Structure 1
Amino acid sequence: MNPGESKTVALDGPVTIYEVAGLREAFREALAEGVDLRVELDESTKWDLAGLQLLISCVQTARADGRSLTLAKVPRACVEAAERSGLSRWLDSTSEKD
């Protein structure tokens, strides 16, 4: 991909401590392409703090490389995990606005 291009990545299923290792590898591959990322979350189900930590790490990695990572179609389960973790403001600031 060329600079200025973007890629959409879709997550599905649970995003918890049990899935984070595999998801981390998928994100590493996507981030290695050197393009802005849009991550669609609408097909994701169960969320916990480990899933949110993975997203935070990915956003920080993208920004450190001068790229953006935007979250789209954030499901209620993710919003609730963010609320329980005190990360609502962060999630809102990283999410695509309708």
Structure 2
Amino acid sequence: MDPGEVKTVGLDGPVTIYEVAGLREAFREALSEGIDLRVELDESTRWDLAGLQLLVSCVRTAHAEGRGLTLAKVPRACVEAAERAGLSGWLESVTATE
């Protein structure tokens, strides 16, 4: 793998407790490639705490393995869920500035 290589993945549809199990497997597969990830969220719709917990876990896993994971194109629904959960600062810290 190329140092500095970044894989872009996108989430679409709801990111709630009902979808988290499937999304976790997709993230696990993407993280297993051993490169940095950029996760684009602009096609995602509904968000809840389980969806945010999944993002937190993925970012922690990537960082623990020495890789980066940044979020991009964060929709308002995700921002509002983060605000309700007290995770606004965290979300801002892992969101790419574009």
TM over 0.5: yes
The 3-state SS of whatever aligns with 1:44 is strand
TM-score (ref. length: structure 1): 0.97
TM-score (ref. length: structure 2): 0.97
The percentage of counterpart residues that share the same residue type is 81
Q: Supply the distance in 2 between the matched residues of 1:77 and 1:34 (Cα, whole angstroms).
A: 30
Q: Could you tell me which residue of structure 2 aligns to residue 38 of structure 1?
A: 38
Q: List gaps (5 residues or longer) in structure 1.
A: none
The 3-state SS of whatever aligns with 2:14 is strand
The 3-state SS of whatever aligns with 1:27 is helix
Q: Supply the distance in 1 between the matched residues of 2:13 and 2:74 (Cα, whole angstroms).
A: 13
The 3-state SS of whatever aligns with 1:74 is coil
Superposed structure 1 runs of 4+ greater than 4 Å apart: none
The 3-state SS of whatever aligns with 1:13 is strand
Q: Which amino acid aligns with 1:81?
A: A
Q: Could you tell me which residue of structure 2 aligns to residue 64 of structure 1?
A: 64
Aligned residues: 98
Determine if the alignment matches structure 1 residue 79 to structure 2 residue 92.
Answer: no
Q: Could you tell me which residue of structure 2 aligns to residue 15 of structure 1?
A: 15
CA RMSD of the aligned region, Å? 0.8
Quote how far apart the aligned CAs of 1:6 are. 1.0
Q: Which amino acid aligns with 2:86?
A: G
